[in-house]
Structure 1
Amino acid sequence: MSAPHEPLWSIGELAERAGATVKTVRFYSDRGLLPEAARSSGGHRRYGPPALERLRLIRSLRGLGLPLPAVRRVLEDEDAAGPVLETAVDSRLRELGDELRTLRWRAAALELVRDCPPDRRAGRLRLLGALSTPPSTAPLARFWRAWLPARMPARATAAFLEVAVPQPPDAPRPDQVLAFARLHAMTTAPCPDGRRPQPDVHRVAGARGAALLYAGLAEAFALAAAPVRRAQDPRPGEALDAYVAAYASAYGSRDTRGFRRLLADRLAAEARLDRYWELAAVVLSEPGGPAQPTPGSADDWLRAALRQDNAAAA
């Protein structure tokens, strides 16, 4: 109800004062968001100053993109500028972040199609058509779960996936969109025998040995990351020692000169995923910045360091 001597306005007068349309006022009023101060003798709605303030607040919230349920929760809160509003704004910010990320991926994909030679556009469109926008990393994770030894502990698997699966950038360049699309195509392509080729060490080590192997490799790759980033030549040292120790633990052996020679031969005969790591490096790259190390580039550096170490000891 209105206070004594409080002005009362018709729906049209309220709309005019708020700079809104009568249809807008009626919409919010029908949904119980605008308080009526009274009704005329003919049953027409009458509104007072609280309704004008409420209408201005509603339009501000709607202008920020808040949905009606969130607007209602804010209006029902005793403190209109309190935690309910803060929660609603945070939620909307997250939604906008997701929308902006989607738009950036679409824009980069459109640039990729526009700028490629006409005879390649059909192929690019097929690659891009298989991706969600922004893309999911789930196919890449499934690829690696099939690659890793069966029954490997969940914690070890999760730790490996964290470094092996590149996260799509929020604002990608066209070349990063293409690289991720090719990664998606590579990891979803069927294998002739139904399973990815795997290193021989997986079979030898078993689940427990594989967990030790990948924990040790993670340490070795972390140690090799700095020299890889600085493009330093491979060399023996702490990183190589950790690398060899990881394989020695998996094979149930010790780090000896003979084992290092044997390991180099075994690694040379292993199945490789070079193309995966090349594409992953593009996805992770920064314009004009140093190459970002990947498990693949760190492994290449460490293998070269192992060969150099063996040659020096021969």
Structure 2
Amino acid sequence: MPTDDLWSIGQLAERAGATVKTVRFYSDRGLLPEAARSAGGHRRYGPEALDRLRLIRSLRALDLPVPEVGRVLARDDALGDALEGAIAGRLREVGSRLTALRWREAALRLVADCTARERPERLRLVGALAAPPSTAPLARFWRGWLPARMSARVVATVVERAVPPVPDDPTPAQVLAFARLQAFVSTPCTGGARFQPEAHRGGRGYRPEVLYEGMVEAYALAAADVREGLAPHRGEALDCFVAAHAGALGARDTPGFRHGLDRRLAAEQRLDGYWDLVAELTAPASGRRPEPTPGAADDWLRAALARSADRA
């Protein structure tokens, strides 16, 4: 290309509405190749450099880092898959930041809108939370609380259902519920082994994997009735619940077994506090029925079992 058709770095900057410093910055990083050099060694750019510079500035306006811009420009389809992938990555980052800001805002409102007596506890609780918070402590609690003699597959299934999702746009009440939930799972259990259900203790002939696999299915069956607000009753969900306990013990589902199971479950330690907080955390907008937690399904099934045992 004749040198008369080329622009100096200042001319390119003027046409692009940029500063000479900006043009030099992108040139030094290989994002804006020069077409030639003058006799004095000065950079010269062709008209295509103007389009390139405008594209670079558009990508930077989307907050893409300079290395990411370089990777996009290095591809032949700079406006195709490479750009799409880069934008998707930035959207994820921006979404994470927005979620963190919403949690911070809700935490501030939680502390601002309370009495002087409540404030110290709330400050302590929210001070222990990341923004957005992680569910890792909850997952660790369940992995430690579940029996050791279970496959990773079953443990993962139980943990997935027991650990609630973190809302992206929480209310102050949800921030408080999650903070208390995290405190609940982080507090050492003073009951020791006595706190564990009998099925978790070794040497008693239990098959905990059979129990928990069956419980997952029973909770799923009961959830529909809980969601509809139906009273506890006999049916497939209760039969599945009892069968899980019977199978874990190698016993048969008989009226006598149901009587004994009802008494044993009534005497077991429970995680009611955990499930109450999960229900607060996952409460939907007003006017909608809450999605049943496994704890709510367990309550419903135990009540159905008690009625079944009484009638038998």
Q: TM-score range by the shorter chain?
A: over 0.9
Q: 2:96 aligns with which of 92, 95, 98?
A: 98
Q: 1:254 aligns with which of 235, 252, 255?
A: 252
Shift of the alpha carbon at 1:304?
0.7
Aligned to 2:293: 294
Shift of the alpha carbon at 1:144?
1.1
For structure 1, which segment, 51-60 or 118-127, has the greater mean C-alpha deviation from structure 2 after superposition?
118-127
Query: Which letter does structure 2 place at the counterpart of 1:210?
Result: P
Shift of the alpha carbon at 1:115?
1.5
Q: Does the aligned pair in 1 maintain the 2:210–2:244 contact within 8 Å?
A: yes
Aligned to 1:191: 189
Cα pair distance change 1:279/1:42, threshold 3 Å = same
Where structure 1 has 5 or more consecutive residues not aligned to the other structure, the ranges are none
Deviations 1:269-301 (A, max 9, x none): 000110100111122221112121111000000
The answer to whether the aligner puts 1:306 opposite 2:300 as a matched pair is no
Paired with 1:250 and 1:139, the residues of 2 have a C-alpha distance of 29
Aligned length: 311
Cα pair distance change 1:200/1:291, threshold 3 Å = same
For structure 1, which segment, 59-68 or 205-214, has the greater mean C-alpha deviation from structure 2 after superposition?
205-214
SS at match of 1:309: helix
Q: 1:213 aligns with which of 190, 211, 217?
A: 211
Cα pair distance change 1:124/1:196, threshold 3 Å = farther
Paired with 1:80 and 1:113, the residues of 2 have a C-alpha distance of 48
Paired with 2:58 and 2:277, the residues of 1 have a C-alpha distance of 46
Correspondence list, 1:127-276, <5 A = 127-192=125-190, 197-203=195-201, 209-276=207-274
Q: Does the aligned pair in 2 maintain the 1:216–1:242 contact within 8 Å?
A: yes
Query: Which letter does structure 1 place at the counterpart of 2:211?
Result: L
Deviations 1:152-211 (A, max 9, x none): 111111111011111111222221111111110000112236668111122268797100
Cα pair distance change 1:208/1:37, threshold 3 Å = farther
Q: 1:59 aligns with which of 47, 57, 60?
A: 57
For structure 1, which segment, 195-204 or 302-311, has the greater mean C-alpha deviation from structure 2 after superposition?
195-204
SS at match of 1:46: strand
Paired with 2:133 and 2:247, the residues of 1 have a C-alpha distance of 37
Deviations 1:242-278 (A, max 9, x none): 1111111112211100111111100110001101001
Q: 1:82 aligns with which of 80, 83, 102?
A: 80
Cα pair distance change 1:104/1:89, threshold 3 Å = same
Query: Which letter does structure 2 place at the counterpart of 1:63?
Result: A
SS at match of 2:310: helix
Q: TM-score, normalised by structure 1?
A: 0.93
Paired with 1:117 and 1:48, the residues of 2 have a C-alpha distance of 68
Q: Does the aligned pair in 2 maintain the 1:152–1:208 contact within 8 Å?
A: no
Paired with 1:259 and 1:207, the residues of 2 have a C-alpha distance of 16
Q: Does the aligned pair in 1 maintain the 2:221–2:236 contact within 8 Å?
A: yes
Paired with 1:157 and 1:203, the residues of 2 have a C-alpha distance of 16
Aligned to 2:278: 280
What percent identity do the matched residue pairs reach?
A: 62
Shift of the alpha carbon at 1:45?
2.1
Query: Which letter does structure 2 place at the counterpart of 1:95?
Result: E
Paired with 1:75 and 1:207, the residues of 2 have a C-alpha distance of 65
RMSD: 1.9
Query: Which letter does structure 1 place at the counterpart of 2:157?
Result: A
Deviations 1:92-141 (A, max 9, x none): 22222222222222222122122222332221121111122111111111
Paired with 2:29 and 2:175, the residues of 1 have a C-alpha distance of 45
For structure 1, which segment, 85-94 or 198-207, has the greater mean C-alpha deviation from structure 2 after superposition?
198-207
SS at match of 1:291: coil
Paired with 2:30 and 2:111, the residues of 1 have a C-alpha distance of 49
Query: Which letter does structure 1 place at the counterpart of 2:262?
Result: A
Shift of the alpha carbon at 1:5?
7.0
Where structure 2 has 5 or more consecutive residues not aligned to the other structure, the ranges are none
The answer to whether the aligner puts 1:108 opposite 2:117 as a matched pair is no
Cα pair distance change 1:6/1:211, threshold 3 Å = farther
Q: Does the aligned pair in 2 maintain the 1:183–1:279 contact within 8 Å?
A: yes
